[in-house]
Amino acid sequence: MTDLIRMTAVELAAKIKSREVSAVEVAQAHLDRIEAVDDRVHAFLHVDREGALAAAARVDKGEVTGPLAGVPVAVKDVIATKGVPTTAASKILEGWRPPYNATIVERLQAAGTVMLGKTNMDEFAMGSSTEYSAYGPTNNPWDLGRIPGGSGGGSAASIAAYEAPLAIGTDTGGSIRQPGAVTGTVGAKPTYGGTSRYGLIAFSSSLDTPGPCARTVEDAALLHTVIAGHDPRDSTSIPQAVPDVVGAARLGATGDLSGVKLGLVKEFAGDGSEPGVSAAFRESLEALVKLGAEVIEVSCPHFQYALPAYYLIAPSECSSNLARFDGVRYGLRVGDDGNRSLEEVMSLTRDAGFGPEVKRRIILGTYALSSGYYDAYYGQAQKVRTLITRDFQKAFEQVDVLVSPTTPFVAFPFGSRTSDPYQMYLADLFTIPTNLYGGPAISVPCGLSEGLPVGFQVMAPTMADDRMYRVAAALESAVGTLTPPAL
Amino acid sequence: MAISREEVAHLARLSRLAVTEQELDQFAGQLDVILQSVARVGEVAADDIPPTSHSVPLTNVYRDDVPQPCLTQEEALSGAPDAFEGRFRVPRILDEEA
């Protein structure tokens, strides 16, 4: 049964549909794998063994059909799953079982997928390494002493370690793509508004975007199609048809990129990428040129201000969003001894329930929004966001997509960037501009540096998600997928 | 541009975070470094640039005004740290004299 865990979602769906294997066998093989390796990887915060086997049995009985019937999926713990613990990797939500499902969870169920459990992450999706999880970090399957990326390190590690063929992540500043890059897997951030945020525990509402994680570009496209599309329960959901990302991935896999123009952002050059990352990126670019693509240098002069703007906008929105964790309606309550006031109990609850990075961002956001500082910080960051959007729009008049390394460095050892929070923020240098603009972007493996995976990022215009899948699939056909060492 | 320990303490109070003295020492230095980095947005000449709060140009999105299923009272209270007679129970919010 070990073969089952190495198959793609496409292969599994076909074998289950033809009844060559049962959905229960597939679920059991993945649950066994989790049992065997997750004490070392720690990709999961909660494994729903009973729920997974019951869902698989329904598929085998023919009660559930759908394009991914019987295919297992892991879901990031920031997404509400009815009756299944959902903590956002925070102590403040320990033991919470949501009374409802996120829209994307309903869509996963309608597509016939089998949810294996909830994956580890940085607390409330704030971080780039999972070191800010209140329940301990996830270890990178490529080197257990290194970070799996973040915030969605658990989702990426679960597929890299063959614990699941598919996973759901959320991307606010790179939380799907950077973990994909450093674990040698594929991670896609759809167009903002292309996937519903209903039931996603909010961090930065104008940026948060759920999306797919997989081992192949086609698998990612399939999962993308299943979860995407208009949702009336999310007022920022785009009421338009989902681009044909599966068709685009299949077109790209034919290895022909004739006439496709790739934009190389001038301002990203010399921006502190490790030499091995730059080398793998350059080689991949040459591979794409051999497939017929044309490379054009473009200028995006405001991208250099994306990281500072993001670290004002995201903390500002988080300071407001996380006000709901007040020890009244759900989660932790601390210090309620009958004497203390509501305000004292709230303050004690929040100090005990939130970890250090969450507190830093709440305080930073409160500062950036306070009167006297608002114009200089939050207001100015919103103007810079406009200029970054214009940079993208201008670039896309000249080229079809923009390309860059996904993240400047390969998986780093635990503890090497936690003492200086800004050093951690630099992991998202290349991923953040897209979030501010709202367009889609994907990370696809493009080789190794010092034995560790490097990611190649493709950024596309808003609602042109298909373009990035085509280029990513073409690159995958040229450089192949990556296989981590045996665990 | 430096942020003082007193300012961080004030912001923590506004944020309803009962931070410890040790946390204050730690956060004040770290926030100072972060603020100096993010203050670079001020270098951009943007007086005549409109702000972007959101990338999706949708406004006033409403659903049709027809009843929809929603959580039951029991479901809504299921995660509460304390509930009483179908309500969320909270610590006192007024002084006894008031």
The whole-number average pLDDT for the span A164-193 is 98
* Distant-in-sequence, close-in-space partners of A123: CB < 8 Å, separation ≥ 6: A88, A89, A90, A132, A133, A134, A354, A355, A357, A358
Residue among B33, B34, B41 with most chain A CBs within 10 A, to mutate:
B41
Q: Hey, what are A278's tokens? A: 């730059």
Burial of A414 per CB tally in 10 Å (0-12, 13-18, 19+): middle
Does the distance separating the beta carbons of A342 and B92 come in below 8 Å?
yes
> What pLDDT, on the 0 to 100 scale, is given for residue B97?
55
pTM (two decimals)? 0.97
Q: What is the mean pLDDT of chain A?
A: 96
Of B20, B38, B58, the CB nearest to A311: B38
A364: Cβ–Cβ under 8 A, 6 or more apart, which residues?
Answer: A311, A312, A315, A319, B31, B34, B35
The share of chain A scoring above pLDDT 70, in percent, equals 99
* pLDDT value at residue B17: 97
Nearest to A308 among B37, B78, B90 (CB): B37
Per-window interface: A 313-352 vs B, CB < 8 A: 319, 323, 326-333, 336, 338, 340-348, 350-351
Q: Which residues of A touch B90 (CB under 8 A)?
A: 328, 342, 345
Strand A209-214, strand A186-189: pairing:
antiparallel
- CA pair distance A277, A262, nearest whole angstrom: 19
Longest dimension (CA), chain A: 73
- Per-residue pLDDT tens digits for A307-355: 999 999 999 999 999 999 999 999 999 999 999 999 999 999 999 999 9
pLDDT at B98: 47
B49/A327 touch (CB, cutoff 8 Å), yes or no = no
Q: Where are the domains of chain B?
A: 5-43
Residues in chain B, pLDDT under 70: 1, 95-98
Count chain A–chain B contacts defined by CB atoms under 8 A: 185
Q: Going by C-beta distance under 8 Å and a sequence separation of 6 or more, which residues neighbour residue A367? A: A373, A377, B3, B7, B11, B31, B35
Cα dihedral A431→A432→A436→A439 (10° resolution): 10
Amino acid making up residue B40: R
**pLDDT tens per residue, range A387-415:** 999 999 999 999 999 999 999 999 999 99
pLDDT confidence tier of residue A424, bands split at 50, 70 and 90: confident
- Distances from the Cα of A74 to the Cαs of A21, A161, A192, A378, A419, in angstroms? 20, 12, 22, 35, 31
- Do the bridges between strand A401-405 and strand A294-298 make them parallel or antiparallel, or are there none, so unpaired? unpaired
Q: Please judge whether B17 and A363 are an interchain contact, meaning their C-beta atoms are less than 8 angstroms apart.
A: yes
Q: Per-residue DSSP letters for A217-284?
A: HHHHHHHHHHHBS--TTSTT---SPPP-HHHHHHHHHTT--TTPEEEEEGGGTTSS--HHHHHHHHHH
Q: Is A332 left (phi over 0), alpha (psi -120 to 50) or beta?
A: beta
CA of residue A363 relative to chain centroid, distance: 25
Q: Which residues pair with A453 in a beta bridge?
A: A448
Q: Is the dihedral of CA B10, B16, B21, B23 positive or negative?
A: negative
Average pLDDT of span A40-54: 98
Is A384 in CB contact (< 8 Å) with chain B? Answer: yes
Predicted confidence (pLDDT) per residue in A199-210, tens digit: 999 999 999 999
pLDDT digit string, tens, across residues A252-296: 999 999 999 999 999 988 668 999 999 999 999 999 999 999 999
- Going from the N-terminus, what domains does chain A have, and what CATH number goes with each? 2-257 (3.90.1300.10)
* φ/ψ bin of A480: left (φ > 0), alpha (ψ from -120 to 50), beta (otherwise): left
Please choose, from the candidates A268, A256, A168, A166, the residue with its C-alpha nearest in 3D space to the C-alpha of residue A214. A166
Reading the block at residue A424, the tokens are: 């951690």
pLDDT above 60 (res A225): yes
Q: Quick one: tokens of A395? A: 């670039």
Q: What integer pLDDT is reported at residue A419 of this predicted model?
A: 84
* Cβ-defined contact of A330 to B15 (cutoff 8 Å): no
Q: Complex ipTM, two decimals?
A: 0.94
**Which residues of chain A make contact with B6, given a CB cutoff of 8 A?**
none
- In this predicted structure, the answer to whether residue A420 has a pLDDT above a threshold of 90 is no
Taking an 8 Å cut-off on Cβ atoms, the answer to whether B27 and A359 are in contact is yes
Give me A450's structure tokens: 């010092």
